Amino acid sequence: MRTRRFGVTNLSMSALGFGALHLSLEGRPSREDSIALLHRALELGVTLFDTADSYCRDDSDAHHNERLLHEALSTYPGDTSGVIVATKGGMVRPGGDWVVLCEPDHLRRTLRESFEALGGKRPIELWQLHTVDPRYSLESCLAVAREAQEAGLVRHIGLSNVSLEQLQRARRLAPIVSVQNEYNPWQRGSEFTGVLACCEHEGLAFLPWSPLGGPRRIAELGAIPRIQELARARGVSVPQLVLAWMMAKASCVVPIPGARRRATLEDSLAAAELKLTPEEVRDLDRSAPHRRREL
């Protein structure tokens, strides 16, 4: 698979990553099926895997996804030395809900737990603040990440779910290397507010979460006539077309689609080899359900 390199680091990652969230939620595949799926992603050249301490059923199941990824990597027979596991802290799952919690002592504790869940032998390649918590300053939250970096628990620091102002402020506080925001045909706020342009200009990785808008929305895209026409003309699936469109928007973009089934995984990853013309990109810009929406 093609790779992309980011100017502020020595990081090189596959042009498409894998979002492992759905391997740990309610209704998740069996452990054996999940490991097999992750091994298949590795076989196909994926070197970026996205996870979080809160990717689990509820708080009693915290760090499930990180432990699953560690098991998959440690049992894979091939070379995994270039694999980047990007995790996050700052959300909790009481009763299965999603609740923001960036209290610094909580971040310190859960970051250490993430380090242990991922093997506890080498630094977390990329740790990201999951979101901004208005109850606690960015300074105090990122101070935790800097402490972990200095202690050898974390190699690189990133952000998730941030505005341009928050990104710019954070970059004055810590060596930020990536941004993970929602970005898909329904949510293009990062494109319109300057976050994506900032990442491209400054050499930061931009990692779109939910790049296909979630399982229920993929079918909606296929019902848009022009998107149907473009997919048929190129002989590809609609998800492949959308992922290729996103990668064509800027060289810093590395989408992280998820999957529970091998066929879905293989279909998505085939988009890494699809290159769209500028005209096709403009066509998809005009056809996207939301052309302008603020973050």
Mean pLDDT taken over the chain: 95
Q: Concatenated DSSP letters for 173-228?
A: TS-EEEEE-B-BTTB-HHHHTTHHHHHHHHT-EE--BSTT--HHHHHHHHTSHHHH
List the single range of 28-37, 135-144, 169-178, 217-226 with lowest mean pLDDT.
217-226
The pLDDT, as a whole number, for residue 291 is 56
Topology of the domain covering 12-218? TIM Barrel (3.20.20)
| pLDDT tens-digit map of 121-147 | 999 999 999 999 999 999 999 999 999
- Confidence (pTM): 0.95
pLDDT band at 11 (very low <50, low <70, confident <90, very high): confident
Among the ranges given (11-25, 38-52, 104-118, 207-221), the one the predictor scored with the smallest mean pLDDT: 207-221
Cα separation, 226 vs 286, whole angstroms: 9
| CB crowding 243-271: b at 16 or more within 10 Å, else e | bbbbbbbebbbbbbbbbbeeebbebbbbb
How many CB atoms within 10 Å of residue 130?
25
| 264-283 tens-digit pLDDT | 999 999 999 999 999 999 99
Q: Which residue has the tokens 């990785």?
A: 205
For 148-159, b/e burial (b = at least 16 CB within 10 A) is: bbeeebbbbbbb
- pLDDT surpasses 60 at 158: yes
Please give the Cα distance from 125 to 120 (Å, whole number): 12
Summarised one tens digit per residue, pLDDT across range 184-231 is 999 999 999 999 999 999 999 999 999 998 877 888 888 888 999 999
DSSP strand pairing (12-14 vs 3-5) = antiparallel
The string of pLDDT tens digits covering residues 95-129 is 999 999 999 999 999 999 999 999 999 999 999 99
Do the strands 124-129 and 84-89 form a parallel or antiparallel pair, or are they unpaired? Answer: parallel
Q: What is the mean pLDDT of residues 238-249?
A: 96
Residue 293 has pLDDT above 80, yes or no: no
